[in-house]
A and B are shown apart, each in its own frame.
Chain A
Amino acid sequence: MSSNDPQGYKKTLNSPYTGLKGWIDSRLPLVRMMEAEYLKFPVPKSLNYFWSFGGIAMFCLIGLILTGIFLGFHYKPSADEAFDSVERIMRDVNYGWLIRYLHANLVSFFFIATFIHIFRALYFGSYKAPRELVYLFGLTMFVLMMGTAFLGYTLPWGQMSYWGATVITNLFSAIPFVGDAILTLLLGDFNVGDSTINRFYVLHWLLAFSIVGLVVFHVITLHMTGSNNPTGSEPQSWDETVSFHPYVTIKDLNATIFFFIILAFVLFYYPNILGHSDNYIRANPMVTPAHIVPEWYFLPFYAILRAIPDKLGGVLAMFGSIAALGLLPWLDTSKVRSCLFRPVWRICVLLFAINFFVLMYMGGKPAEGIYVLISRIGTAYWFLFIFVLAPLVGFLETPRQPLSITNYLKAKKA
């Protein structure tokens, strides 16, 4: 195309398709985009099943939005009516129990998928250049997910909803000078109450759809760089890749069905096992539950919050723990991505994962004695891992020479 022939340049934008497909595609290049990004898109052929969890998380998100819409048809965001409207869904709405249990359990499985997805990114170095933005959009979505889940948990207006909301919103009062004003703005009142549930309902929807928006950016940035893979080596030829469809789609389908079998098992046989029995008691501002425990997926962060003896410090540590993860692409000094070739860093990452579960356990225990001590050690390791081990291990460790995708697959066969 030459700069003095604008019509010639425009012709290159013409659709390769004819008929209706061509008519649409030359006006809205959706068909071309879908073909390039979801049919022919080259993906390293060495991906393992860890790479299926992004797609699984997306299916969870879609399921949450669909069930959320149907719940919204019947739910009433008011302190007087919320609890009863949820029970009405459970008892009188056709298949309401299924929709509500699905919504409640999908959240947990969304977090399970996301935790595995993030672990995958850490273990195989997917956060490193040039995928920093993919990673940052991902972490941002994770923060929004936590916000959405927290807001959603208050909506049934049971005891744990109410007191969880009271404890967590109270954290904002730790912010110097403006804390109380922010708290009042958030609650719409001086206490968690009718105006709180109303705005939490709106914000629950708003944040949920913000996540959908960020998925788009997550995927666009991913498709600029292409997927990482277990070797961390970029594909050197077409021969080291497969097309997204049907190779990746069928693989992800297998993983997704398997994942949903586990979900179905919990959903249909233990639908309340991940919840708290206190939330079947109507919210009562006069009665404080014996132990206020957040949902299981918040427990590691709750443990970090309580590990710091100072309120503001605890809040900073809790939010900081996730924000600090965002610095990892720049703090990790190693040239090698994948833990398969980084013997020392591999141990650090595995310890980080184990530490995550330790913190999760501590978050569910009362903040006393040995539990606080272990939470502090866990919190210390979290930050040590990011700020000290990531830069230091990168310098000191002697990584092995990363295998190419072809050689990796050969070695795996042997």
Chain B
Amino acid sequence: MFAAGSKIDIPKYDWSWKGFFGTYDRASAQRGLKVYREVCAGCHSMDLIAYRNLENLGFSEAHIKAIAAEYLVPDGPNEEGEMFEREAIPSDRFANPYPNVQAARAANNGAYPPDLSLIVKARPKGADYIKALLLGYVEAPADKDIPEGQYYNQYMEGNLIAMPSPLSEGLVEYDDGTEATLDQMATDVTTFLAWAAEPSLEDRKRIGLKVILFLFVLLILAYISKQQIWRDIK
């Protein structure tokens, strides 16, 4: 709230989960998962999310099992004392693209692709920033010096980012027939990441409304009692 803000203006977008009754757009988040799996997951882990959590996004148990089974996760040691790999099950966390931080750095010119589980809550402008960043790859000004392995992004602090533009028109093929425009993919994956960062948001808003209404009724009763009790005090 009081942090010295960035000087770059981040555009404001409309999100389905804003406001008192906001909920995550399930269809969008499901498409976002597909973008994550086919594009982001090549480099970015999501350590805090388990496959079983996808149930909250409206996936069936069988579907989740099938998704998990597409990944291999390390396990062990087995009875012979060997580490081994096996197909993931719903209770596993999302498979990590790299065995460790060093491997991730080695594969990415020394830059570490951050874990995306909390990324929407870990940036001051949250979802707006993530979507803007994904769409922020524009032509660099002629006088800007772009070092090897860096890319120009108008919304990145300092305008240099180690991640090449991850999205391009029609990059994924959506199961529901939605056209995979750049904007659509950025919106969908941001919705998915917002859900991943704060899966309790819907419960929170629903309970919040009840709590506040309850407190208001209680306040009215307390106020009437107070008027009664203080009536004779001059």
Contact = CB atoms under 8 A, between A and B. Distances in A.
B48 A87 contact: yes
A291 interface: yes
Report whether over half of chain B's contact residues are helix, strand or loop; otherwise say mixed. helix
Interface string A70-109: 0000000000000010010011000001100100000000
A97 B122 contact: no
Contact of B204 (A45, A97, A277, A282): A97
B222 A268 contact: no
B166 interface: no
B2 A253 contact: no
B2 A257 contact: no
Nearest to A257: B219
B3 A268 contact: no
B208 A257 contact: no
B97 interface: no
Interface stretch (B25-33, B137-145, B147-155, B225-233): B225-233
B204 A364 contact: no
B124 A277 contact: yes
Contacts of B157: 290
Contacts of A101: 204
Given A257-B222, A280-B122, A366-B4, A268 B229 contact: no
Contact-residue size bin, chain A (C-beta under 8 Å from the other chain): 35 or more
Contacts of B136: none
A377 B162 CA distance: 44
A267 B204 CA distance: 9
Given A257-B222, A364-B3, A247 B233 contact: yes
B229 A247 contact: yes
Interface of A: 45, 84, 87, 90-91, 97-98, 101, 242, 246-247, 250-251, 253-254, 257-258, 260-261, 264-265, 267-269, 271-274, 276-278, 280-282, 290-291, 293, 296, 299, 360-361, 363-366, 409
Pick the 6 closest A-B CB pairs, nearest first: A268-B208, A364-B2, A280-B122, A97-B200, A280-B121, A280-B118
Interface of B: 1-4, 20, 48, 53, 114-115, 117-118, 121-124, 126, 157, 197, 199-200, 203-205, 207-209, 211-212, 215-216, 218-219, 222-223, 225-226, 229-230, 233-234
